[in-house]
């Protein structure tokens, strides 16, 4: 952070806060964890890929931040509780939860298998639900104590959706259903947790340049998730057609996405809850 002549350093806006970011090994999640840490938060970095998870945590540490790598599958039994406990064991608090982890398993609706349908719902709806449910017991006890002491602290939940969930997308029936569910989870929990002074908001992303949306020519690339390969990416013509409908005339970068998430984590958004922010460069469907 630079300082001009005669100026004082701007205080980190998230100093003293503890954050948990799922799917933070690469892409949007990694940039979000790095951004939160740069603003003073201590971050639990979660990812299924242990190497990627450790790399993000190391980048944060190398830049003077505090991070704990916790590699785990967010869809597995017990992971939600373990992630919350990891934050509490390391730093005694958990103030920001970003439900970002996810992947795609695409096909035409009539080709969707039951396994495919359930996998997308487990990843994009059930995993965030379980994490937030696991967070609640500590949250309720802590907020009750703070209120008795006359202290007020606004905590933050940011859930990640997609324009596929808000507007629909061909070949993404299950993924779209899961991402639409995230919006309902967000708006419902905002009403339930308002009494705890927790804001619950959602960011729906349009075209962001990650490994899930990478541009390809020829055969589509694949990613490996838990020993299985999934086709990802967008054909070059698809990307060109999409960008033609984006007023900003480009695909977003992970840092753009992290910036949108960050807006819901800072004190300036303490009176904003239950909201859906579309980060798409103005994409017209």
Q: What is the CATH number of the domain that holds 24?
A: 3.40.50.720
Burial bucket for residue 243 (CB in 10 Å: 0-12, 13-18, 19+): middle
Q: Is residue 11 part of a domain?
A: no
What is the distance between the alpha carbons of residues 108 and 117, in angstroms, rounded to a whole number? 12
Q: Is residue 8 part of a domain?
A: no
Q: Is residue 13 part of a domain?
A: no
What is the distance between the alpha carbons of residues 96 and 282, in angstroms, rounded to a whole number? 27
Structure tokens at 13: 């806006």
Q: Over the stretch 115-124, which tens digit does the pLDDT of each residue have?
A: 999 999 999 9
What is the extent of the structural domain holding 270?
18-279
Q: What is the total residue count of the chain?
A: 285
Active site residue 175: yes
**Cβ 234 vs Cβ 214: under 8 Å:** yes
Q: Is residue 118 part of a domain?
A: yes
Q: Which residue has the higher pLDDT, 246 or 141?
A: 141
Whether 3 shows a pLDDT value over 60: the answer reads no
Percentage of the chain lying above the pLDDT 70 cut: 96
Q: Do strands 222-225 and 155-162 pair parallel, antiparallel, or not at all (unpaired)?
A: unpaired
Q: Is residue 9 part of a domain?
A: no
Structure tokens at 117: 């349908």
Mean pLDDT of 126-143: 98
Q: Give the total number of structural domains in the chain.
A: 1
Q: Over the stretch 169-212, which tens digit does the pLDDT of each residue have?
A: 888 999 999 999 999 999 999 999 999 999 999 999 998 888 77
Q: Is residue 284 part of a domain?
A: no
Of 283, 97, 105, nearest in space to 204 by CA: 283
What is the distance between the alpha carbons of residues 2 and 277, in angstroms, rounded to a whole number? 30
What is the distance between the alpha carbons of residues 156 and 111, in angstroms, rounded to a whole number? 38
Of 93, 71, 86, nearest in space to 26 by CA: 71
Q: Is residue 87 part of a domain?
A: yes
Annotated catalytic residue, options 103, 136, 175, 216: 175
Degrees to nearest 5, angle at CA 175 with 255 and 230? 80
DSSP one-letter code for 252 = B
Instruction: Report helix angle 173-193 to 127-148, nearest 10.
Output: 10
Average pLDDT, the chain: 92
Q: Is residue 285 part of a domain?
A: no
**What was the pLDDT predicted at 223?**
77
- Specify whether the backbone of 73 is left (phi greater than 0), alpha (psi in -120 to 50) or beta: beta
Q: Within 13 Å of residue 103, how many CA atoms lie on the same side as its CB?
A: 23
Structure tokens at 197: 């002074």
Of 278, 285, 259, 190, nearest in space to 39 by CA: 259
């Amino acid at each position: 952070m630079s300082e001009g002549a005669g100026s004082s350093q701007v205080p980190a806006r998230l100093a003293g806060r503890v954050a948990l970011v799922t799917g933070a090994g690469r892409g949007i999640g990694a940039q979000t964890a790095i951004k939160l840490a740069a603003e003073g938060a201590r971050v639990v970095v979660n990812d299924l890929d242990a190497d990627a998870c450790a790399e993000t945590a190391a980048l944060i540490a190398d830049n003077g931040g505090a991070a704990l790598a916790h590699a785990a599958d967010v869809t597995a039994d017990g992971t939600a509780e373990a992630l919350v406990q990891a934050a509490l064991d390391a730093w005694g608090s958990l103030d920001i939860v970003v439900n970002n982890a996810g992947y795609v398993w695409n096909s035409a609706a009539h080709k969707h298998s039951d396994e495919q349908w359930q996998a997308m719902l487990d990843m994009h709806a059930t995993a965030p639900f379980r994490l937030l449910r696991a967070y609640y017991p500590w949250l309720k006890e802590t907020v009750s104590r703070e209120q008795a002491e006359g202290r007020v602290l606004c905590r933050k939940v940011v859930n990640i959706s997609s324009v596929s969930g808000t507007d629909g997308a061909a070949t993404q029936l299950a993924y779209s259903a899961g991402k639409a569910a995230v919006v309902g989870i967000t708006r419902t929990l905002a009403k339930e947790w308002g009494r705890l002074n927790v804001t619950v908001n959602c960011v729906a992303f349009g075209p962001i340049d990650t490994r899930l949306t990478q541009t390809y020519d020829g055969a589509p690339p694949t990613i490996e998730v838990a020993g299985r390969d999934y086709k990802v990416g967008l054909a070059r013509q698809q990307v060109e057609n999409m960008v033609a409908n984006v007023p900003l005339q480009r695909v977003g970068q992970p840092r753009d996405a992290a910036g949108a998430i960050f807006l819901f984590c800072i004190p300036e958004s303490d009176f904003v809850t239950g909201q859906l922010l579309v980060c798409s460069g103005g994409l017209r469907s």
